[in-house]
Structure 1
Amino acid sequence: MRVVHITSLDNGGAGRACIRLHKALLEAGVDSIVITQTKTGDTPQVKQLAQTKPQKLVAKIRPFLSQLPLMAYPKRVKDIFSPNLPIFTPSNHLLVSTIKALKPDIVHLHWVENGFFSIKDLQSIQAPILWSLHDANPYTGGCHIVAAACVGVGTRCKSCPLLKSTYPFDISFWTFKRKAKTYAKLKNLTINGLSRWIAQSAKDSSLLSSKPIINLPNPIDTRIYRPIQKSLAREMLHIHTPKKIISFGAIGATSTPRKGFNELKAALDCLPQNLKDKCELLVFGSSEGQNLQDIPTHYVGTLHDDIALALLYSASDVFIMPSHLESFGQTALEAIACGTPVVAFNTSGLKDIITHKHNGYLAKCYDTNDLARGIEWILSLETAKYEALARNARSSAIKAFESSKVAHAYIDTYAQLAGGGAVDKTWLISIAKHTLHTLLPHIFAQPTYYIGFGAIGGASVGRKGFNELKIALENLPFSLKSQCELLVFGGEAPQIQGIKSHTLGFLHDDYALAFAFNACDIFVAPSLAENLSNVIMESLACGTPVVAFDIGGNGDMITHKHNGYLAPLANDSNTLGEGIEWILSQDAKAYATLAHNARVSSLRFESAKIAHTYINTYVFLTGGGGAIIDS
């Protein structure tokens, strides 16, 4: 499999994340190639696009040209903004032709601004595209961090508050319009939210809400980012102090307000004086800045090397990440991988990395007093409790973000996309209904909603919940009920007043079951007791949304109103009916998204993946069992 990554830079937050994934894929045997506008490292298979002198000249002009429209907004907020307009961000024909020549199975986009990529170039890429959201720009009219008061991403950008624009048809409007026009033509684009927060933000946006959206994180090499003896780390960094070290760092650490340096200063001012006397502050990402009152401050500049960063985190007793928003939170992950607890605000992608009082502290959003309480809580822990917190930090990084694990999750996704991506639910329903129409023409004579119910024993086993389903269907509004028919497989079931039922009998063959699930517009699993339901898993795998009670393992498979509906009150037919009515009342676009989500969510149970998990367990058990200790 050949994966071609596209990123404007091979450094910076997004560039470093791209390179880390690239390295992990190479180790896993994937033919991974990175194309970048600006190459700064020497990682294998990373290629700078411009090679000749004319090409290099154009590459230098493109970033400047793309930013020219911003000159019309001299009062704009001084943060990154990337318009994508004709003439100013022209098509990158060299990039398009290079991608084509490489014949990739997958094109993986990362951060592609700085004039590197015209949004219309997406139409020239024939391979399946996976686009990782390193910030909000792909679903906005140009901003990378959405202003708190802005509602444009949910409708249409105009009068952008970051541009301080009062004119509705500003460059955010035209960039948004250009993206909307291009995205509408793309059938091969899948979006990857690096955190649950940014994935949900993309789903809520107008530009990307109709696209398949998944959630895979950035990886980290825990062989490099690992705890180093604190005294050794400090010696290597020439830090000669017995005091507690509080560290903070980011690109533009002190100059970019959203990185939270002002909030950090306010929090440190709130610390008790006796604690201040025991602390020093270490800042990276900035070479100079003000010294804080009562706390000696050291500015170490920008650290480019992973080993230097690992030393800094290991030298620290706590790392503070007071960012207002983070699509992921890479420095927080680096810190915990080195066994250093993190204090951050309870916001955005940081919630995927930090678990409150387990591997760090999540302060109330933008509450500097609570940020101070988090710093004080960690630094005041007795030795044994602090060491437990540090171990939790390290183990949580390994468990969720270790590079080889994350790489294989991406490989599984690439394989699915290269095979055609998510199942086209409309096509499958059409095929299934056509086949069943041929076999059972008396069932499919009229177009209608088909509701599925299946269980071994059918209605004869009380705990399978047929009686609850019967009441729920009888109580549906007449206008909806008149459009519904019930397909029952796995046993017999009595007729339901006002709804025609069809008994398909016991279906032994998986192919027949797959057709049955695909013929259903919705599958209802009203069981009153379940561990991990096979029929729910099978239905979701066929792209058919499921309604079930929120019991047992159902919540492990169904995410409420994402791939189905979890009725909150077990045994309550009214809530079951509300779920059926909610799904069947969705318009075609919303239902297609629901069906797509059902299919994608089932992939975590894919047989080969689960088999390998069991194999690893068997190997471990045959080795004698016992605790797995991280070396």
Structure 2
Amino acid sequence: MVSDPILKIAVISKSNAEGGGASRVADDLAVLLNEEPNVIAHHWLGYPGAVWKQHMRLLFGGRRFHPIEQACRRISRKLGFTDFFTPEIFRMWLRKEVDYDIYHFHDLSTAVSPIGLRWLARRAHVVWTFHDISPFTGGCIFPMECKKWHARCRDCPKLQEWPLLTNFDRTRLMQAYKRKTAGKNLFTAIAPSAWMARQAIRSGMFSQPPRVIPYCVDTDLFQPHDKQAVRKKLGLPEHAYLILVSAAHLYEIRKGVVHALAALKALDRPFSVLLVGNSDPEVLARFKNFDLHVTGYVRDAELLSLYYAAADVFLFPTLADNLPLTVMETMAAGTPTIGFSTGGVPEMVSHKVHGWLAETADVQGLVEGLRTAHDNPEMREKWAKASRAKAVKLYSKPVFLKNHLDFYREILTCGR
């Protein structure tokens, strides 16, 4: 009996699971790949966190080369070409332990040069997962109200924001470089949501949409619990209508906390608020008139899953998002979402099936959803069960892994 050939994958991202949503997806993928018997996967990352795993590799080449890397990055930014003139991919190529079949890129911002990606794509099979809009822009992550990237970036309003942080506007040139790379058909693209695939087409960089492969959630870890029991354990009000508001950075404008506050102030029902994520004194002050329970940023995934399962609903009025992991996790925990029909959220949450969706910026629509969920506990329970079922069916780790392995083998068999 002939065994399957060994599949060798390099997963490349800014960081590990501690570095944000995109890096967490890359970390999950690398771990799952290494659990397969005929796969060798190394996770090349720019900024390692506290947890180091055997399959991880340093993209920048260790402490001796880190100052050189940072100097290149500073000069690149100073010239207005943020993250362009950096040598990490060339060093990786020289230091690789195996000849990888596929190099799979994730979040490039602050870690990987588009020049390095093009250079590598001329020599090997490259896959790039689009976690945000930056692959199509001159550098910004989510353009929000700016539509210039649909044609050509110029006069960028986000030069002083992360990740650009520069005084010189080279966004037109940087976007043109990315467009040329895409136009040469040098890499194969993945979009986590159909919405992101549509943005790729809207950018004018692609004639065909990327392959849609959604993220995953640990459905064994994030699962429903008896709400009263878990609230008692966590010191939360056992019988209150508990509304979860959560984001990695609650002060980030695009997460819509201003709209969440407006909806809570207009809600004429008794409730308590569970606030999860990094915040600041200004954010906390805005919530001071509610029955508020604050956790801060929760690093422990098991504890986070309990907080998510403890809530009655998840209030998530995001203004720009791809396929939010927080929605995926709360769905798996059996907590329905009430939010805006923004980005990839409607692909996860069907209105009145898995929760309640209002049009973006429609605060009154949020209030109506919160009232409906409060007044109809049986409907809320149906939403919770449907959310859990969808998470298990579409977003489990085995489904995520299979989708990637099938795609990799398709690329190696058929080419780009």
How far apart are the structure 2 equivalents of 1:316 and 1:406? 27
How far apart are the structure 2 equivalents of 1:143 and 1:220? 27
Superposed counterparts of 1:157-556, under 5 Å: 157-163=153-159, 170-185=169-184, 187-206=185-204, 208-210=205-207, 213-253=210-250, 255-272=251-268, 275=269, 277-286=270-279, 288=281, 289-292=284-287, 294-382=289-377, 384-422=378-416
Contact kept, 8 Å, 2:45 with 2:57, in 1: the verdict is yes
1:42 aligns with 2:49: no
Query: Post-superposition shift, 1:332?
Result: 0.4
Report the CA distance shift for 1:269/1:300 in structure 2 as closer, same or farther (over 3 A): same
Query: Post-superposition shift, 1:182?
Result: 3.5
State the Cα deviation string for residues 567-611 of structure 1 (Å, max 9, x = none). xxxxxxxxxxxxxxxxxxxxxxxxxxxxxxxxxxxxxxxxxxxxx
Q: Larger relative CO (CA 8 A, sep 6+): 1 or 2?
A: 2
Report the CA distance shift for 1:69/1:231 in structure 2 as closer, same or farther (over 3 A): farther
Report the CA distance shift for 1:267/1:240 in structure 2 as closer, same or farther (over 3 A): closer
Report the CA distance shift for 1:65/1:396 in structure 2 as closer, same or farther (over 3 A): farther
Percent identity over the alignment? 26
How far apart are the structure 1 equivalents of 2:296 and 2:102? 37
State the Cα deviation string for residues 263-320 of structure 1 (Å, max 9, x = none). 1001111101xx1x33233232326521526422222111122212101101111111
1:20 corresponding residue in structure 2: 28
Letter in 1 for 2:58: Q
1:104 corresponding residue in structure 2: 100
Report the CA distance shift for 1:61/1:286 in structure 2 as closer, same or farther (over 3 A): farther
Query: Post-superposition shift, 1:27?
Result: 3.1
Contact kept, 8 Å, 2:151 with 2:203, in 1: the verdict is yes
RMSD: 2.4
Query: Post-superposition shift, 1:241?
Result: 4.5
Query: Post-superposition shift, 1:142?
Result: 0.8
TM-score normalised according to structure 1 size: 0.59
Report the CA distance shift for 1:262/1:65 in structure 2 as closer, same or farther (over 3 A): farther
Report the CA distance shift for 1:171/1:247 in structure 2 as closer, same or farther (over 3 A): same
Query: Post-superposition shift, 1:412?
Result: 0.5
Give the secondary-structure state (helix, strand or coil) at the position aligned to 1:309.
helix
Query: Post-superposition shift, 1:63?
Result: 5.3
Letter in 2 for 1:377: T
Report the CA distance shift for 1:218/1:234 in structure 2 as closer, same or farther (over 3 A): same
Q: Number of aligned residue pairs: give it.
A: 396
Contact kept, 8 Å, 1:8 with 1:36, in 2: the verdict is yes
Letter in 1 for 2:279: S
State the Cα deviation string for residues 55-81 of structure 1 (Å, max 9, x = none). 2333555555554356xxxxxxxxxxx
How far apart are the structure 1 equivalents of 2:380 and 2:211? 35
Provide structure 1 residue ranges, at least 5 long, that are not aligned to the other structure: 71-81, 423-631
How far apart are the structure 2 equivalents of 1:350 and 1:413? 24
1:497 corresponding residue in structure 2: none
How far apart are the structure 1 equivalents of 2:89 and 2:300? 31
TM-score normalised according to structure 2 size: 0.88
Contact kept, 8 Å, 1:342 with 1:361, in 2: the verdict is yes
Query: Post-superposition shift, 1:2?
Result: 1.3
2:3 corresponding residue in structure 1: none
Give the secondary-structure state (helix, strand or coil) at the position aligned to 2:285.
coil
Report the CA distance shift for 1:147/1:121 in structure 2 as closer, same or farther (over 3 A): same
State the Cα deviation string for residues 232-266 of structure 1 (Å, max 9, x = none). 3323433244312211111211x211111101001
Query: Post-superposition shift, 1:325?
Result: 1.0
Report the CA distance shift for 1:182/1:345 in structure 2 as closer, same or farther (over 3 A): same
How far apart are the structure 2 equivalents of 1:264 and 1:196? 26
Bigger radius of gyration: 1
